[in-house]
Amino acid sequence: MDNLTITSFHKGLVAREFSAREAAESYFKKIAAGNPSLNAYLSTAEASALEAAADADARVADARARGAEDAIPALMGVPLAIKDNILIKGLPATAASNILAGYTASYDAGVTAKLKAAHAVFLGKTNMDEFAMGSSTETSAFGIAHNPHDTDRVPGGSSGGSAAAVAADLAVAALGSDTGGSIRQPASLCGIVGFKPTYGAVSRAGLIAMASSLDQIGPLTKTVEDAALLYEAIAGADPLDATSTDEGALAARGIASLPPLAEVTRLTIGLPKEYFVDGLDKDVAARVEGAIAKLKKMGFAFKEISLPHTRYALSCYYIVMPAEVSSNLARFDGIRYARMPKVAEAVAVREASLMDIYLKQRGLGLGTEAKRRVLLGTFVLSSGYYDAYYEKAQRVRTLITNDFAAAFEGVDAILTPVAPSPAFKIGEKANDPLSMYLEDIFTIPVNLAGLPGLSLPTEPYPLGGGTLPVGFQLIGKKWHEADILNIGRHYERN
């Protein structure tokens, strides 16, 4: 049972090639063998997964007995990995932070509830940058994750554990979250597919929030077809998330069926001149150009466009995002959710004030990058600086959104690089925050504008005697997920 996709798993399950329990047991053996060198999983859930797999097998047997094999859901029994900032009732949820070490989720996130209803199987929770703050999974409090293509290199971030698990076949597919590229960038660096839906298309209820106006849950998969299937299962409004809407479910309806190529090639693809600039690795640029050439050969028309305010996106993001981080992380004081045992040693509780306890808890519990962003966010929201920084950044965000709206008057999708380079060495950028932030320079504008984005692999990057994965990005109009997924599926087939 190697390199199964959601589609091939479903066919094998229905054809009685294996049972859901046998598949789950096989994946736990793979995790036991592969995870020590990758650190892709922070925790596994063997008991609950095998129980869910047995339930799936019983439902499949019942469907066969009724002659209703066609009614077996596409995700029945599929072994999935879930990023550790997405809640699953009864399982750990640490967001890769010491301040949540020992916390167990008391309810399901909106997406995991939907996946349970589809009878998927959760193998475990995956590693990530602490509170999703990073582009390499090096800020995790529980150890660095490694890229399966070269374990001396990062898998990207912040959903690096999910990307590594799928790329190494330690899961059929996974969920991650994307605030500024955290699904698409690790997908590119690990050679898989990563999909960020339109903001509001998928519920954020039960997602440990980083930046609430930017966060979005989405799939990391081996194929674009699988991304479409997983998106269809999790899309739609949720009464527990006021920003979610049924537009997501409408956009996902029937998305698993693929129109013929002749129909899809009616779409025009835009190439923004601001994305193909100095700073983009020449070999990465060559691979993206190769993807463009293949799409042209398939019959797609291209048009040069301009997104003039792209140059301000990184600066805008690193004001808006830390401001929301400062607000969202205020709830994590080391007392609620989980108590830190070290505090008992560090603080004489009876003699300390509540403020002393909070300061010590957060000082011990939060990592360097989390502290950096909390401090920056608190500063830009403070009296005398709000208008100069935060309000101005929100105005720039509107200009970036308007740029995309104007561009989409003449094109149906936009093609860009995902990351400026392939996977870099572990530690190479750890002490250079600006260099790390630049990893998301091509993905951040999509989040600021609330648009859907898809990362998919192109030709690999040459490196000495080997290669590294490279991805390219397709950006769609709001609620037009089908456009970029259909382009991606035909590209994949050709």
**Residue 57 domain-assigned (yes or no):** yes
Q: Which residue has the higher pLDDT, 15 or 431?
A: 15
Residue 242 lies in a domain: yes
- Active-site annotation holds for 83: yes
358 lies in some domain? no
CB atoms within 10 A of CB 321: 25
pLDDT at 298 over 70: yes
From the candidates 140, 158, 244, 326, give the one annotated as an active-site residue: 158
Alpha-carbon gap, residue 441 to 280, rounded angstroms: 10
Q: Is residue 482 part of a domain?
A: yes
Does a structural domain hold residue 390? no
Confidence of residue 214 (pLDDT cuts 50, 70, 90): very high
pTM: 0.96
The CA distance from 79 to 355, in Å, is 44
State the Cα–Cα distance between residues 215 and 197, nearest whole angstrom. Answer: 10
Residue the block writes with tokens 């100095």: 278
Look at residue 430 and tell me whether its pLDDT is greater than 90: no
> What whole-number distance in Å separates Cα of residue 108 and Cα of residue 395?
36
CATH of the domain at 178: 3.90.1300.10
DSSP output for 15-67? TTSS-HHHHHHHHHHHHHHHHHHH--EEEE-HHHHHHHHHHHHHHHHHHHHTT
Q: Is 297 a catalytic residue?
A: no
In 3D, which of 55, 76, 108, 69 has the Cα closest to residue 10?
Answer: 76
- Sequence letter at residue 332: F
Task: Quote the mean pLDDT of the chain.
Answer: 94
The residue assigned the tokens 């129909």 is 263
Which pair of structure tokens corresponds to residue 168?
Answer: 């190494």
Cβ proximity of 441 and 453 under 8 Å? no
The 10s digit of each residue's pLDDT in 186-211 is 999 999 999 999 999 999 999 999 99
pLDDT level of residue 354 (50, 70, 90 thresholds): confident
Q: Is residue 136 part of a domain?
A: yes
Cβ contact 184:443 at 8 Å: yes
CB 380 within 8 A of CB 389: yes
- In this prediction, what percent of the chain has a pLDDT beyond 70? 97
- Residue 234 inside a domain? The answer is yes
Q: How confident is the model at residue 256 (pLDDT cuts 50, 70, 90)?
A: confident
Choose, from 135, 140, 177, 182, the residue flagged as catalytic.
182
CB 142 within 8 A of CB 42: yes
Give a yes or no: residue 183 inside a domain: yes
Return the SS3 of 85. Answer: coil
- Out of 30, 83, 196, 360, the active site residue is 83
Grouping H, G, I as helix, E, B as strand and the rest as coil, residue 178 is strand
Cα–Cα distances (Å) from 396 to 180, 266, 295, 390, in that order, read 16, 33, 33, 10
Q: Is the separation of the CB atoms in 337 and 103 below 8 Å?
A: yes
Length of the chain: 494
Give me the pLDDT at residue 345, please.
55
Q: Which domain holds residue 91?
A: 1-303+416-494
Count up the domains in the chain and report the number.
Answer: 1
